[in-house]
Amino acid sequence: MSLPEIDLGAGADARLEPADRLRRRSPWSRAAGRFSTDRAAVTGLVVVTVFFVVALGVWLGWWGGNWAETGGGQWQSPSAENWLGTTILGQDIFARAVYSTRTAFEIGLVVAISSTLLGGLFGAISGYFAHSPVDAAILWLKGVLDSIPFYLFVAAVAFALDGQPFAMHIAMIATFWTTTARLVRGEVIKLKRLEFVEAARSVGLATPRIIARHIVPNTFHILLVQATIVFVAAIKSEVILSFLGLGVQDGVSWGLMIAESTTEVIAGRYWNFIAASSFMFVLVMGFNLFADGLQDALDPKRAGR
Amino acid sequence: MSERLLEVEDLSVEFATEGGVIRAVEEVSFGIDRGATLGIVGESGCGKSVTSLALMGLLPRPAGRVVGGSVRFDGAELIGLDESRLRKLRGSEISMVFQEPLTALNPVYTIGRQIAEVARRHLGLSRSRARERAIEMLARVGIPLPDRRIDEYPHELSGGMRQRAMIAMALVCRPKLLIADEPTTALDVTTQAQVLEQIVTLQREFGTAVILITHDLGVVAETCRDALVMYCGEIVERAATEHLFNTPRHRYTQRLLEAMPRIRSRPLTSLPVIPGSVPEPDRLPSGCRFAPRCAHSGSRCELERPRLQRLEDSDVACFYPANVEADGAAT
């Protein structure tokens, strides 16, 4: 059979022009483009960045180191010296709120990263080997962890670890990975039926490599969004747990500040409460805006631009 | 080194389903010489794709399994070979092109990276050498500006380009056998012709044997030296393409050819169709599987299963084959 000669040489350059402008745009750069036009998301990112810098500064010892000093007078009102007043022990409330930012980020990051890694790993394994004994075991473990009331579980872990500073982290990681794993499992079950997985097998790749290199990268959008959700959930849970006395054991956190303030509020001393709850509110709000924008930007169905 | 590259003998494949065990492929035998082309034709569900997956040891597990027969590739038995040895063969000695190039390419990697991955794994090339090789392959499959196209993602390419990229990936290690499962079905007709032409050109250049699986008889006529027709998991006719088209022996082949669209001298009053429908795989007739739909079937067809038998230039599984002088009911 003879075919009409298709000229792919000289004319090809001219025809590629429009495609050329889009050439270097990977899925990630497209997502970044969508994100940057979302005003709320960018605002969220700015807020989160500011808080992150504050937390980093505390970690590097630039500020907030004086959170435990009892120099000032008791229950001072806000002044040039103590921007948000002082506590019953004469500690600077602003310094305590700033130092607590570091506590919040430390908990958020540790819990978000660990539970995402754990959830991604277990989710990918149970999804790829769906309906096998391995999958059944992972699902069973998830079911058991999900069925224990969260605060009871944290109390149990804290008790078992006998006041270890990381008891709270471990309890949160152990409960938060299950949602991520469930989402990843569903996505992997969908992905593994696609032809590119069969194609990967047909070129002779081994199963662990197919899971790690071809399936898991296709779930990154879920992992990323889930990590941001867990980050916020961890910060909020820390506040509640510290308030209940199950959380932060050394140092200070917004939850501990709110716990201290419960008696003060009755006495008409609001600054501890206001400082801790506004810091937390602004960070959580900013992070939620950021996470929403991220979710929209990473949604391939909205990939208009 | 013998001429024969692949010899399939009495290959049977079964699937475990909720309704019981279904035999998807029944004692299929065929072979292909080095550098030759073979077309496998049949309608959806006749077992052609399952046969090709069985050759590569890629049947969906645990549901599908080979229950009998042998597949000898380049002198070595593939059935029962352990997974790691099979993996070494896949992509380097035997490779595959799939029907839908968009889903067969991983959306999160550039095509260059996917092609290079195969070259790195099987040929042990360095990153930069593998990239050069990928660019060279893209040029070979007719992609313009390959050194720029290599960094594009599958969604940035047209259907034809994606399929060319798939072919480049399949041929990057110069395999001895390429299995193309409906490689042009998802493409429009002009692109189809180009892609087929490309496969044929590369097949000649590299000396790769090609098994082309399709439901399109026209594709087989254009590209394949030999052809097999499958129906309900069995081979009903096996012949050189020329003979198959000029003197179809099996009644099914004959009806398929009649149903092919072409320019006719007189307008048709109705479209030629094969009456009836393909039997459910769990309710196959015990005799000839085509008998219920065949205008020439006799009582023997319902009782006894016809075996492939030599009839002049063809192998045919039919008791009352077409185009036979002695047969009174000439067609």
* Reported ipTM: 0.71
Provide, for chain B, the percentages of residues in helix, strand and coil under a 3-state DSSP scheme, each rounded to the nearest 5: 35, 25, 40
Tell me the per-residue pLDDT of B312-322, one tens digit each, with 9 for 90 and over: 888 999 998 88
Quote the pLDDT of residue A254: 87
Task: Pick B153's closest partner by Cβ from A12, A27, A194.
Answer: A27
Task: Pick A205's closest partner by Cβ from B107, B121, B193.
Answer: B121
Average pLDDT for residues B229-251, to the nearest whole number?
91
What is the torsional sign of CA B198, B104, B118, B122? negative
Residue B129 backbone dihedrals phi, psi, to 5 degrees: -65, -40
Average pLDDT for residues B18-33, to the nearest whole number?
89
Task: Pick A204's closest partner by Cβ from B92, B100, B197.
Answer: B92
Whether B15 contacts chain A with CB within 8 A: no
Average pLDDT for residues B296-310, to the nearest whole number?
87
pLDDT band (50, 70, 90) for residue A25? low
- Collect all residues of chain A within an 8 Å Cβ-Cβ radius of residue B142: 8
**Cα A277 to Cα B74: distance, rounded to the nearest angstrom:** 74
- Collect all residues of chain B within an 8 Å Cβ-Cβ radius of residue A24: 151
Whether a cis peptide bond, with omega within 30° of 0, leads into B279 is: no
* Cα–chain center distance at B120: 27
Tell me the per-residue pLDDT of A46-69, one tens digit each, with 9 for 90 and over: 999 999 998 898 888 887 777 767
| Contact flag A201-B84 (C-beta cutoff 8 Å) | no
pLDDT at A291 over 50: yes
Quote the pLDDT of residue A111: 94
**Cα A61 to Cα A49: distance, rounded to the nearest angstrom:** 18
Dihedral of the alpha carbons of B222, B228, B229, B234, in degrees to the nearest 10: -160
- Collect all residues of chain A within an 8 Å Cβ-Cβ radius of residue B194: 3, 6
Domains and CATH numbers, chain B: 4-224 (3.40.50.300), 234-316 (no CATH)
Whether B194 contacts chain A with CB within 8 A: yes
**Cα B224 to Cα B40: distance, rounded to the nearest angstrom:** 9
pLDDT at A22 over 80: no
- Collect all residues of chain A within an 8 Å Cβ-Cβ radius of residue B87: 204-206
Q: What percent of chain A has pLDDT over 70?
A: 83
pLDDT at B103 over 90: no
CB atoms within 10 A of CB A293: 22
Most B-contacting residue of A17, A128, A195, A214 (CB-CB within 10 A), to test interface? A195
Tell me the per-residue pLDDT of A174-205, one tens digit each, with 9 for 90 and over: 889 999 999 999 999 999 888 889 888 888 88
Task: Pick A3's closest partner by Cβ from B56, B122, B194.
Answer: B194
Dihedral of the alpha carbons of A112, A118, A124, A125, in degrees to the nearest 10: -170
- Collect all residues of chain A within an 8 Å Cβ-Cβ radius of residue B169: 199, 203
| Strand B4-17 relative to strand B64-73, pairing | antiparallel
Give the mean pLDDT of chain A. Answer: 82
Q: Is B98 helix (H, G, I), strand (E, B) or coil?
A: coil
Contact A41, A289 (CB under 8 A): yes
CA proximity to B13, closest of B80, B76, B66: B66
**Cα A75 to Cα A90: distance, rounded to the nearest angstrom:** 6
Q: Is B20 helix (H, G, I), strand (E, B) or coil?
A: strand
Task: Give B240-243 contacts, CB < 8 A, sequence gap 24+.
Answer: B240/B313, B241/B39, B243/B312, B243/B313, B243/B314
* B254 residue type, one letter: Q
| Contact flag A24-B148 (C-beta cutoff 8 Å) | no
Q: What percent of chain B has pLDDT over 90?
A: 39
Average pLDDT for residues B240-253, to the nearest whole number?
91
**Cα A58 to Cα A103: distance, rounded to the nearest angstrom:** 10
* CA–CA–CA angle B256, B260, B263 (5° rounding): 150
Quote the pLDDT of residue A171: 87
The DSSP string of A231-286 is HHHHHHHHHHHHHTTSS--SS--HHHHHHHHHHHHHTT--HHHHHHHHHHHHHHHH
Quote the pLDDT of residue A302: 58
For chain A, the C-alpha Rg in angstroms (whole number) is: 25
Task: Extract the tokens encoding A150.
Answer: 């969260």
Residue indicated by tokens 């590119």: A196
CA distances from A50 to A58, A64, A205 (A): 13, 15, 45
pLDDT at A151 over 60: yes
- Collect all residues of chain A within an 8 Å Cβ-Cβ radius of residue B92: 204
pLDDT at B234 over 60: yes
* B162 residue type, one letter: R
Contact B323, B247 (CB under 8 A): yes
Give the mean pLDDT of chain B. Answer: 88
Residues contacting residue B167 through CB under 8 Å, at least 6 positions apart: B97, B141, B183, B195, B198, B199, B202
| Contact flag B108-A16 (C-beta cutoff 8 Å) | no
Q: Is A130 helix (H, G, I), strand (E, B) or coil?
A: coil
pLDDT at A170 over 70: yes
| Contact flag B144-A201 (C-beta cutoff 8 Å) | no
Contact B139, B185 (CB under 8 A): no
| Contact flag A195-B104 (C-beta cutoff 8 Å) | yes
Most B-contacting residue of A203, A210, A214, A299 (CB-CB within 10 A), to test interface? A203
Quote the pLDDT of residue A83: 67
The lowest-confidence range among A66-75, B73-82, B306-315 is: A66-75
Contact A180, A142 (CB under 8 A): no
**Cα B280 to Cα B45: distance, rounded to the nearest angstrom:** 10
Residue indicated by tokens 């009331």: A149
Task: Pick A196's closest partner by Cβ from B56, B90, B104.
Answer: B104
Whether B79 contacts chain A with CB within 8 A: no
**Cα A48 to Cα A227: distance, rounded to the nearest angstrom:** 14
Whether B78 contacts chain A with CB within 8 A: no
Contact A272, A1 (CB under 8 A): no
Quote the pLDDT of residue A80: 66
Whether B188 contacts chain A with CB within 8 A: no
Average pLDDT for residues A135-145, to the nearest whole number?
93
Tell me the per-residue pLDDT of A97-130, one tens digit each, with 9 for 90 and over: 888 888 889 999 999 999 999 999 999 999 999 8
| Contact flag A195-B121 (C-beta cutoff 8 Å) | no
